[in-house]
Structure 1
Amino acid sequence: MTKNLVVKSNLRNQQRVDVATEARIEKPDGSSLVCSVSNISRTGLMISCGQEQVRELIPGQQTPAPGTWIDVKATFPVPVVAGQPVSVVANGHIVYMRRISRNEFQIGVQFAEFDGNGFEYVDNYVSKLLAASAL
């Protein structure tokens, strides 16, 4: 039995932690691409990708206006115990886009809903990284 957890919107109040991993971003039409994850919080991911990927994900390459967010599904690894990552699947929305350089963009994905225990995995992972950075 799979339970889905809906994430409450609380964007700016969550601390972000830098990570170096990849996420598969799937659009509603089933097409997908892989981007690098630059940071994660309990409420979302910041991904980095090139211009071609942005063209695929964001029509017109303009940050979506509130309420017209672009639905995506993100699949990414989270280490539960050392050397044993689990694959987290989260439905979400592209809510932010910023050009960093000529061919590098940052895209913010806000989580909306997790499959299974995904939220607990992300919550524990972010807590662990925050605790380690406080030392």
Structure 2
Amino acid sequence: MMLEMMTGLRVLDLNRPPSQRNLVDWARPSLIAIKKLKGIMDPRLEQYYPSQGVIKAGELIRKCLDVNPNHRPSMEKVVASLEEINAIRMTPKWLKINNGHLMSPHHEQRYCDHRRENCYRSPLHAKQQGGV
């Protein structure tokens, strides 16, 4: 499921080229290097994500997809990893704070709740909510 969220692709899609129909098989080689991992990220996210979070998520996905079930992490470890990923703050250079709101270079407002760890929203979330 995390792989689907990161790539924006379905786990099985017969409309993709034969080598890309199975998301896990297609993406597995990209989970080992940050440049490759960023290459499979959903472009609709427009890089509104912390790079360190992508690295850790890729590591977690790779561990969960291990061919040997005995090497896969327990759900307790998965939850701990997800909590670590969630705690990573997004601080890209192009993002600036204006009156407590995060602003992108396109002047789209992303509201920031300083009581929470994460002070950003996915552009996809904002579109689903009818804008922020």
Higher strand content, 1 or 2 = 1
- TM-score, with normalisation over the residues of structure 2? 0.26
Q: Work out which structure has the larger RCO, using CA pairs closer than 8 Å and 6 or more positions apart in sequence.
A: 1
Higher helix content, 1 or 2 = 2
Greater Rg, structure 1 or structure 2? 2
- TM-score, with normalisation over the residues of structure 1? 0.26
